Amino acid sequence: MTDHGKPSSPQYNPGKGEGSPVGIALLGHGTVGAQVLRLMQEYSDELEHRIGGPLEVKGVAVRNMEKHRDSVPAELLTDDAFGLINRDDVDIVVEVIGGIDYPRELVLAALKAGKSVVTANKALVAAHYQELGDASDESNVDLYFEAAVAAAIPVVGPLRRSLAGDRIKSVMGIVNGTTNFILDGMDSTGADYDEMLAEATRLGYAEADPTADVEGYDAASKAAILASIAFHTPVYASDVHREGITNISPEDIKAARAAGYVIKLLAICERFNNEEGQEVVAARVHPTLVPRSHPLASVSKSFNAIFVEAEAAGRLMFYGNGAGGAPTASAVLGDIVGAARNKVHGGRAPGQSTYANLPIADFGEVYTRYHVDMSVEDRIGVLAEIAKIFTNHGISLRTVRQHQGEDHARLILVTHSAREKDLEDVVEELKQLEAVRGIESVIRLEE
């Protein structure tokens, strides 16, 4: 790419010609890699017709050559990933290793060697979106990463191609199956967080170390990718405001239910004008109250769903399996077919477009609604004291609910749309108010 994210003008790729084989280097043979290899073998005849030439696996790079792998011919296995990438008979490199630093070296080496790349690595793409895009442009090769966002759900392709002529206003959705499984179970069974995390681990939805999922890191990487594509602006995981679900309690779930909401971990990417009139973008991941009438409220178990709102197309929803070996491999294989077609027939897929290069909004400038749950003294005048604090910061209250305790009252306030910075100031002031015994939770609300 040239300055300001404008693509350079690489020479046209004429292609290898109808019937030519396309060499594949597979980096990684874990859950996803094994499924990719299986599907390439199982669908080989159909894929050849779709591509115009056969796919030929030239090698499978693994870290542990001693591990027994029945599904991989011994002559394909190698622990020299760089050597495999640089073979003359390799046209496409498929990276399904995971992590950032080592895969980055491999992917950049592949792109610089003139190999197209297909990756399912969300953390890598989110951390090095611009760098990888620049490298693919400079070498006139493809970089595909459909599986990096929501496994089998096709959303990257539609954003890059089908909606390329539209103007995206927002992208919002459930992009992590583990957290959705946990929150859905807490809502439907009354279980607490620890019980549902244990169940998610038992069923294989949660890793032995679930931090990336439950603390929102996984969703933040996906939000960064979605925002980068949708708004033609490089957005990195470090730009995404991130909160996890570990502090969501059964009491929060019950309060949400009583008010007609369900709690979901949402990734929200939006374009808006700040108070100076400047167009900016923001991406955030946090627990969110969603009305039970909203389609996202019915997304259960480990499923994902993503809403896209565009000026001309209106609202679109993408729904399906957002995790798992086979669903992720399906998206990877779709990308392989696209890259292989271009190798056979010539041309390139759409590259990264970051021409807009919009500023990233400070999280404090973001507007949304809030559900504030607090424990207060049960006496006359407390509500007036609290309401005055909200008013002093320009925040109006939409609803107020009160529940009596033995020696205190529980107040649940829902605000109209307010600025994040103002709400933070309100919460700090409430904590200093003598009548407030404690702020139980502050959860954002989207409708």
- Show binding-site residues for L-homoserine: 207
Give, in order, the Cα–Cα distances in Å from 49 to each of 17, 157, 328. Answer: 14, 22, 22
Report the distance separating Cα 170 and Cα 3, nearest Å: 26
Would you state the pLDDT for residue 447? 82
State the CATH architecture for 156-319.
2-Layer Sandwich (3.30)
Q: Which residue, among 311, 176, 298, has the nearest Cα to 243 in the 3D structure?
A: 176
Superfamily of the domain at 22-151+325-345: NAD(P)-binding Rossmann-like Domain (3.40.50.720)
Would you state the pLDDT for residue 143? 98
- Show binding-site residues for NADP(+): 27-34
Report the distance separating Cα 1 and Cα 393, nearest Å: 45
Give, in order, the Cα–Cα distances in Å from 248 to each of 186, 187, 286, 440. Answer: 9, 11, 11, 10
Would you state the pLDDT for residue 7? 44
CATH code assigned to 366-445? 3.30.70.260
Give, in order, the Cα–Cα distances in Å from 156 to each of 81, 150, 335, 411. Answer: 27, 9, 11, 42
Both tokens assigned to 15: 């292609």
Would you state the pLDDT for residue 12? 61
Domain segments of the chain as ranges: 22-151+325-345, 156-319, 366-445
Sign of the torsion angle spanned by Cα atoms 444, 290, 261, 274: positive
Report the distance separating Cα 152 and Cα 333, nearest Å: 10
**222 among known catalytic residues:** yes
- Show binding-site residues: 27-34, 122, 207
Would you state the pLDDT for residue 309? 97
Would you state the pLDDT for residue 407? 79
Sequence-distant (6+) residues with CB within 8 A of 83 are none
Name the active-site residue from 16, 115, 222, 264: 222
Strand partners, 315: 309
Sequence-distant (6+) residues with CB within 8 A of 335 are 118, 144, 145, 146, 147
- E strand map for 96-150: 116-119, 143-144
SS3 72: coil
Sequence-distant (6+) residues with CB within 8 A of 298 are none
- Spell out the per-residue pLDDT of the chain, length 447, in tens: 444 444 444 556 789 999 999 999 999 999 999 999 999 999 999 999 999 999 999 999 999 998 988 889 999 999 999 999 999 999 999 999 999 999 999 999 999 999 999 999 999 999 999 999 999 999 999 999 999 999 899 999 999 999 999 999 999 999 999 999 999 999 999 999 999 999 999 998 898 999 999 999 999 999 999 999 999 999 999 999 999 999 999 999 999 999 999 999 999 999 999 999 999 999 999 999 999 999 999 999 999 999 999 999 999 999 998 888 899 999 999 999 999 999 999 999 988 899 999 999 999 999 999 999 999 999 999 999 999 999 999 999 999 999 887 778 999 999 999 999 999 999 999 999 999 999 999 999 998
